[in-house]
């Protein structure tokens, strides 16, 4: 049986008078998929195939069908695990945002592994006859908003929005010390650690650009609560960047050698702002602070 995924849309009253091709480009449907839609006539306008030069009108009905060969990874194979309930913050037909718990990995590292957010998501989505697809990840000790796709065609579109920085991610973290300034930007490149695969390093091997904006929220006893906005998504970016300016994260067992905080890493993905694919809407989704994240540190 051929696996397929179909999306049907009724174009809104404010639909721009542009060609079907230009609309697909605006929606960030990958070029290869647009070509397959055209060659294999898998995009129907008002019930039948029309050239992609056709001008769209409000109220037009558009149906797109994706097949497995449109994707590098058409299927997901996460074992369903319903041992923990999924805290869903937002959900539509294509993706969802969930509130990740502390100490839970984003995804398995081996095929038979369970107990991760993707396993919990797979159990949740199997009741909808859908699968979980990873869009981005959070470190095991990081809590908060995590985006998970429900269909494969939305993954490259969300990944492009992450790359374009139109998806905005805001974090909260407690760091050691009192920051002198009220805000700042860190632009130190991040690369691989030469001897430890678990670690990353400022100006390490194969270093890539990394940009973190921070704002001071409040101070506690020799600690500061900061709000951070990422422009890039390097592994351990916030942890490395704050440590590099002399203010490592409280509870960071990798980059804060002075930490003796027993409650784990104090880093929370507090909000994501996402342009919803196939629409002009932008949503902002907040993730409530977990009990493990203190409002004040004494």
In this structure, are 160 and 177 located in the same domain? no
Burial of 114 from C-beta contacts in 10 A (0-12 / 13-18 / 19+): middle
In this structure, are 125 and 177 located in the same domain? no
The answer to whether residue 215 sits within a structural domain is: yes
- Give the pairing of strands 267-275 and 223-230: unpaired
CA-CA distances (angstroms) from residue 287 to 19, 157, 170? 38, 23, 10
Measured over the CA atoms of residue 37, residue 39, residue 41 and residue 45, the dihedral's sign is positive
What is the domain-level CATH number for residue 46?
A: 3.10.290.10
In this structure, are 189 and 252 located in the same domain? yes
Q: Residue 145: name the closest of 38, 48, 60, 272 by CA.
A: 272
The answer to whether residue 80 sits within a structural domain is: no
Please write the tens of the pLDDT for every residue from 84-96: 999 999 999 999 9
How far is residue 232's CA from residue 290's CA, in Å, rounded to a whole number? 25
Q: Which of these three, 116, 138, 164, is where a domain ends? A: 164
What is the domain-level CATH number for residue 229?
A: 3.30.2350.10
Q: Residue 147: name the closest of 110, 94, 104 by CA.
A: 94
Confidence tier at 298 by pLDDT (50, 70, 90)? low
In this structure, are 207 and 230 located in the same domain? yes
Q: Any bridge partners for residue 254, and if so which? A: none
Q: Which of 70, 81, 94, 139 is catalytic?
A: 139
Structural domain count, the chain:
3
In this structure, are 194 and 258 located in the same domain? yes
Kindly tell me if the per-residue pLDDT of 2 is higher than 80: no
The answer to whether residue 159 sits within a structural domain is: yes
In this structure, are 141 and 160 located in the same domain? yes
In this structure, are 144 and 112 located in the same domain? yes
Q: Are 203 and 210 in contact (CB under 8 A)?
A: no
In this prediction, residues 2-26 reach a mean pLDDT of 94
In this structure, are 150 and 184 located in the same domain? no
The answer to whether residue 83 sits within a structural domain is: no
Please write the tens of the pLDDT for every residue from 101-153: 999 999 988 878 889 999 999 999 999 999 999 999 998 999 999 999 999 99
The answer to whether residue 238 sits within a structural domain is: yes
In this structure, are 199 and 229 located in the same domain? yes
In this structure, are 176 and 155 located in the same domain? no
Q: Which of these three, 110, 133, 164, is where a domain ends? A: 164
How far is residue 173's CA from residue 159's CA, in Å, rounded to a whole number? 25
Q: Are 98 and 132 in contact (CB under 8 A)?
A: no
How far is residue 93's CA from residue 86's CA, in Å, rounded to a whole number? 17
139 counts as catalytic? yes
The SS3 call for residue 62 is strand
User: Can you list the alpha helix ranges (DSSP code H) found in the chain?
Assistant: 20-26, 31-39, 117-126, 154-164, 237-244
- Residue 39 phi, psi dihedral angles, 5° rounding: -65, -40
pLDDT of residue 220: 83
Inter-residue long-range contacts of 160-166, CB under 8 Å, 24+ positions, other chains counted: 160/28, 160/30, 161/28, 161/274, 161/275, 161/277, 162/135, 162/136, 162/233, 165/231, 166/275
The answer to whether residue 288 sits within a structural domain is: no
Between CA 285 and CA 23, with CA 10 as vertex, the angle to 5 degrees is: 80
The answer to whether residue 76 sits within a structural domain is: no
| Full residue range of the structural domain in which residue 211 is found | 168-269
Percent of the chain at pLDDT exceeding 90: 81
The answer to whether residue 82 sits within a structural domain is: no
């Amino acid at each position: 049986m051929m696996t397929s995924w179909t999306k049907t849309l009724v174009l809104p009253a404010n639909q721009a008078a542009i060609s079907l091709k230009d609309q697909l480009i605006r929606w960030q449907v990958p070029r290869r998929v647009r070509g397959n839609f055209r060659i294999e006539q898998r995009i129907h306008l008002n019930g039948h195939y029309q050239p992609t030069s056709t001008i769209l009108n409000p109220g037009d009905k558009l149906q797109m069908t994706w097949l497995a060969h449109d994707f590098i990874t058409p299927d997901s194979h996460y074992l369903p695990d319903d041992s923990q309930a999924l805290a869903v913050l937002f959900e539509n037909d294509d993706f969802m945002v969930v509130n990740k718990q502390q100490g839970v990995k984003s995804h398995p590292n081996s095929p038979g592994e369970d107990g991760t957010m993707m396993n919990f998501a797979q159990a949740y989505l199997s009741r909808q006859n859908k699968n979980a697809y990873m869009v981005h990840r959070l470190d095991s000790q990081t809590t908060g908003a995590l985006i998970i796709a429900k269909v494969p065609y939305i993954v490259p579109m969300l990944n492009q929005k992450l790359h374009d920085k139109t998806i905005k991610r805001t974090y909260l973290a407690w760091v050691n010390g009192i920051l002198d300034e009220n805000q700042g930007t860190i632009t130190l490149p991040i690369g691989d650690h030469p001897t430890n695969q678990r670690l990353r390093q400022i100006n390490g091997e194969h270093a890539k650009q990394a940009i973190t904006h921070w704002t001071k929220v409040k101070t506690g006893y020799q600690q500061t609560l900061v709000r951070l906005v990422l422009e890039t998504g390097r592994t351990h970016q916030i942890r490395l960047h704050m440590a590099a300016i002399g203010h490592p994260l409280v509870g960071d067992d990798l980059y804060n050698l002075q930490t003796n905080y027993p409650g784990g890493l104090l880093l929370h993905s507090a909000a994501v702002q996402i342009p919803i694919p196939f629409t002009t809407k932008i949503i902002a989704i907040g993730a409530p602070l977990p009990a493990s994240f203190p409002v004040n540190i004494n």
